[in-house]
Chains A and B, each alone.
Chain A
């Protein structure tokens, strides 16, 4: 009887957005009288930080600091239609809608600035700090604060924009299944190291090294929180979780967190996250949806590591001590 060590690898891809498309999201952007910007959506922030990302996307596109953007969302009286927050679609779909709306607002903003500065709008650029400058002559400038005041009180312009993003729906061909499930895919490769106690069947995940390719890390800190959380969830799926432990038997289902097993802080592996960025052609600033895929590769990586450690295949999830011990017993009997 011994603690046996093994490692396993898995590589995966994952589609961004609702399968087969046809999932619209709209956005509205407008400026306040003093040049702050309001993004209006009906998308839902599930705790992953969607509002923050939409603010950064709007700020980047208009050319102002993020703290000058406020996001109002998840209200059907004020926000235009969003299909919902699911299918790794929030950043990709709503982000593209926000970019389109922000571009339209930026154009009006530049036109008003051009009138104030008596130049062509196409000769203007933003400095990202709240000012609009004449290209090549930065001493000639106007603040966005003043541009907004002018638009509201002097020029009678609405610095605002409408955004819409829709991937046309694809219908699978009946006989061949020819279809377009998605326009872009995130990628991952995970290596997991485990220790298996061949007496108790208990698995300890020692390290998980994840490489994720996500198009563009729009906010690296938020990417990290999502990827680390996903990696933990993957381990949890591999080793612990089910509402029906003896499926298809319906008995023994957990009804609270005492009975429904999930890893606690002491069960979490040393986790490494490495991010690659290959911008997607149709993503907002190249972003893909990493929200779902980051929880997938750990499951097979752990399963393969268990085999590497003790030489038995557990092809049924979750990989419980009971299943490992039964497999070891069957292996010994052969």
Chain B
């Protein structure tokens, strides 16, 4: 790695003692000698293992659940169903007033994705819990499922989630988050070329070294200590308090070093049910995802579809951009309404375009609920935007890097969401990339600056 201090030297003081120093990490020796403690290093006498009975169907009505055989299985201590969960229907962003509550801790009457938790089994050993889970009999009436976002948005599509009432998240702005800036149709009308292209991604796994999980210990004072690898301590505690209808003062969450998050540990899935198990049995409980659960049950990055229509001039200026983004939330909201909205704030990318129209949709389908992941709401959008930029440059016969200089945002430029640009540095990054990659551009682009002229 190289620090190029010649850029922005005029706005930066390099006079600090500790900041800017490559100090060794104080936790590294523990990591490399195996001394760092993770949540799963906690063990308690009499700990119970929790395993889930999961839906084998993408969409089905639950006619009945029979746990009688499972209860008789040696080592089984407790079996939990929806009726055991005090506030079973929840949504995590309710803490910041983003509702409605739309997901069940344990399925109640219906399953909406293959893998959804239906019954929780607590047993003396992991094996006993697994074997007993296989003996739980659930009678399903399979329902039509929808997997494709465009199909889901058509009239007459199977309704994925009754708590929403339609297969998209309803923002205060309607069926999508909207950004309107300038007159995009007039921009297209005046453009030399129009290019409309569509981009698609598939769900992606966070692939942390350490799978999602927690260990819960009931304390002598009626409190519960939850050792967890959540990425958000109080967010998880407060949601658990709501789900269990238990005062937050009864809950003590302890984290520590986490073996990788990447956004995959912000969903509040394992803690509430494990604490409930500890409360109802009076014993410590661990609930730790297998690698298979981490990959297919835990929320992935959403699949996204992005449609971009651009109007561009022969001289390289983009004069209009219309973006329609679709985020496949799967069966439940989790963080997806936030992610789709974040996309609306990110488009049309780091470029100054006078006419912009953005619609971003959060769509429900019968698949594993997606949620946050590194680059949430932006990563796939950037793939689409930057491939589109390459296509536009080639369409007008211009060098792709020079084409970006022409459109790059600079300090003071008004963004589509009506914030003036501050602290821009795109131009300088491209100048340095031009040098580093030996990709020469015309001298006028190397002379550009992100600063406001004359300021």
Q: Which residues of A contact B (CB under 8 A)?
A: 7-15, 19-20, 22, 42-47, 49, 51-52, 55-57, 59-60, 63, 65-66, 73-77, 79, 81-87, 128, 169, 172, 174-182, 184-185, 187-191, 209, 211-213, 216-224, 227-228, 230, 233, 237, 241-245, 247-250, 253-257, 260, 262, 272-281, 285-286, 291-293, 295-297, 299-301, 303-304, 307, 313, 315-318
Which chain B residue lies CB-closest to A317? B201
Chain B residues positioned under 8 Å from A273 (CB to CB): 1-2
Residues of B within 8 A of A169 (CB): 96
Enumerate the 9 nearest inter-chain pairs by beta-carbon distance, A residue then B residue, closest first: A84-B232, A74-B255, A177-B179, A300-B386, A181-B345, A191-B437, A247-B202, A213-B425, A10-B386
- Give the CA-CA distance A86 to B299 in the complex, in Å: 15
Which B residue sits closest to A177, measured CB to CB?
Answer: B179
Q: Is the CB of B18 within 8 A of A296?
A: no
Using an 8 Å CB-CB cutoff, how does the interface string of B69-97 with A read, 1 for contact, 0 for none?
Answer: 00000000000000000000000000010
Contact with A along B341-363 (1 / 0, CB 8 A): 11011100110000000100000
Contact between chains at A82 and B233 (CB < 8 Å): yes
**In the complex, what residue of chain B is closest to A222 when comparing beta carbons?**
B25
| Size of the chain B interface, CB-CB below 8 angstroms | 126
User: How far is B341's CA from A180's CA once the two chains are assembled, in angstroms?
Assistant: 12
Q: Give 14 A-B pairs besides A11-B404, A76-B233, A242-B203 with Cβ atoms closer than 8 angstroms.
A: A11-B433, A13-B350, A14-B375, A19-B338, A46-B261, A47-B259, A59-B18, A86-B376, A177-B173, A244-B303, A276-B432, A279-B8, A285-B19, A300-B384
Query: A210 — nearest CB in chain B belongs to which residue?
Result: B433
B417 within 8 A of A: yes
Q: Which of B120-143 contact A (CB under 8 A)?
A: none
Q: Is the CB of B178 within 8 A of A57?
A: no
Mark each residue of chain B from 12 to 40: 1 if its CB lies under 8 Å from any CB of chain A, else 0: 10001111111111110000000000000
How far apart are the CA atoms of A22 and B350 in the complex, in Å?
Answer: 24
Question: Considering the chains assembled together, what is the distance between the CA atoms of A112 and B179 in angstroms?
Answer: 54
* Most chain B Cβ neighbours within 10 Å, of A43, A60, A219, A278: A278
Complex CA distance for A11 and B256, rounded to whole angstroms: 35
Inter-chain CA distance A27–B31, complex, in Å, is 25
Residues in B neighbouring A274, C-beta threshold 8 A:
1-2, 4, 432-433, 436
Known A-B contacts A19-B342, A233-B374; the reply to A315 vs B178 at CB < 8 A is no
Report the separation of the CA atoms of residues A81 and B401 in the bound assembly, to the nearest whole angstrom. Answer: 44
- Are A175 and B436 in contact, with the CB atoms below 8 A? no
- Can you show 30 pairs from A to B with CB atoms below 8 A apart? A8-B390, A19-B377, A22-B96, A52-B27, A56-B21, A60-B17, A60-B18, A63-B17, A76-B254, A85-B232, A86-B231, A176-B180, A181-B342, A211-B429, A213-B426, A222-B25, A247-B203, A247-B303, A255-B291, A256-B291, A274-B1, A274-B433, A275-B2, A276-B429, A277-B5, A279-B8, A293-B378, A295-B375, A299-B383, A313-B391
Do A189 and B429 touch (CB < 8 A)? yes
Given A211-B429, A212-B429, A276-B4, A242 contacting B173 (CB threshold 8 A): no
Q: Does B436 lie within 8 Å of A74, measured CB to CB?
A: no
Interface residue SS majority, chain A: loop
B269 to chain A, nearest CB (A): 15
Which of B46-54, B153-161, B192-200, B279-287 is found at the contact surface with chain A? B192-200
With A86-B263, A174-B173: A279-B12 Cβ-Cβ less than 8 Å = yes
Pick from B8, B408, B422, B423 the residue with the most CB of A within 10 Å.
B423
CB distance from A38 to the nearest CB of B (A): 14
Cα separation A228 to B432 with both chains bound (whole Å): 18
CA distance A57 to B16 in the complex (A): 10
On whether the beta carbons of B26 and A44 are closer than 8 Å, the reply is: no
Q: How far is the CB of B118 from chain A (nearest CB, A)?
A: 18
Q: When the two chains form their complex, are residues B96 and A220 in contact, meaning their CB atoms are under 8 A apart? A: no
A280 surroundings in chain B (CB, below 8 A): 423
Decide: A253 near B296, CB < 8 A? Known: A83-B232, A277-B5. yes
In the complex, the answer to whether B181 meets A248 with C-beta atoms within 8 Å is no
CA distance A315 to B202 in the complex (A): 12
Knowing A11-B408, A243-B202 touch, does A220 contact B291 (C-beta < 8 A)? no
Chain A neighbourhood of B375, CB < 8 A:
14, 292-293, 295-296
For residue A303, which residue of chain B has the nearest CB?
Answer: B387
Q: Which residues of B are found within 8 Å of A257, using beta-carbon distances?
A: 207, 291
Which chain B residues border A256 with CB–CB below 8 Å?
A: 291-292, 295
Q: Is B213 an interface position by the 8 A CB rule?
A: no
A223: min CB distance to chain B, Å: 7
B7 touches A278 (CB 8 A): yes
Contact B199 A316 (CB under 8 A): yes
- Asked if B147 is an interface residue, CB under 8 A from chain A, the answer is yes
Which B residues touch A245, using CB under 8 A?
A: 202
A74 to B261, CA, bound (A): 14
Among B23, B174, B204, B389, the residue within 8 A (CB) of A66 is B23
B425 touches A190 (CB 8 A): no
Instruction: Identify A177's interface contact among B16, B148, B180, B367, CB under 8 A.
Output: B180
Chain B residue numbers with a CB within 8 Å of A10 are 382, 386, 389
Q: Which of B2, B4, B233 lies in contact with A44, CB distance below 8 A?
A: B233
Q: A179, A243, A279, A316: which has the most chain B beta carbons within 10 Å?
A: A243
Q: At the interface, yes or no: B104 with Cβ under 8 Å from chain A?
A: no
Residues of B within 8 A of A276 (CB): 4, 7-8, 425, 428-429, 432
| Shortest Cβ distance from residue B410 to the other chain A in the assembled complex, whole angstroms | 12
Asked if A11 and B350 sit within 8 Å, CB to CB, the answer is yes
Q: Is B416 an interface residue (CB 8 A)?
A: yes
Q: Are B179 and A65 in contact (CB under 8 A)?
A: no
A292/B429 in contact, CB under 8 A: no
A209 and B374: CB pair below 8 A? no
Chain A residue nearest in CB terms to B261:
A46
Closest residue of chain A to B342, judged by CB?
A: A19
Asked if B365 and A218 make an inter-chain contact with CB atoms under 8 angstroms apart, the answer reads no
Which residues of the partner chain A approach B341 to less than 8 Å between Cβ atoms?
19-20, 172
Task: Report yes or no: B254 in contact with A278, Cβ–Cβ below 8 A.
Answer: no
Question: Smallest distance from the beta carbon of A279 to chain B beta carbons, Å?
Answer: 5
Q: Are B437 and A209 in contact (CB under 8 A)?
A: yes
**Known A47-B260, A76-B237, A285-B19: A300·B383 in contact at CB below 8 Å:** yes
Contacts of A49 on B, CB cut-off 8 Å? Answer: 25, 27
A292 and B374 within 8 A (CB): yes
Does B424 make an interface contact (CB < 8 A)?
yes
A262 to B295, CA, bound (A): 13
Given contacts A49-B27, A177-B344, A222-B25, contact A296 B148 (CB under 8 A): no
Q: In the complex, what distance in Å separates the CA atom of A303 from the CA atom of B425?
A: 24
Residue pair B433, A190 in contact (C-beta under 8 Å): yes
Q: Let me know if B162 is at the binding interface, CB within 8 A.
A: no
Chain A residues closer than 8 Å to B44, beta-carbon distance: none
Nearest to B253 among chain A residues (CB) is A76
Question: Which residues of chain A are near B378, meaning CB under 8 Å?
Answer: 14-15, 292-293, 296
Q: Which residue on chain B has the smallest CB distance to residue A24?
A: B234
Residues of A within 8 Å of B349, CB to CB, are 12-13
Residue among A15, A86, A189 making CB contact with B345, cutoff 8 Å: A15
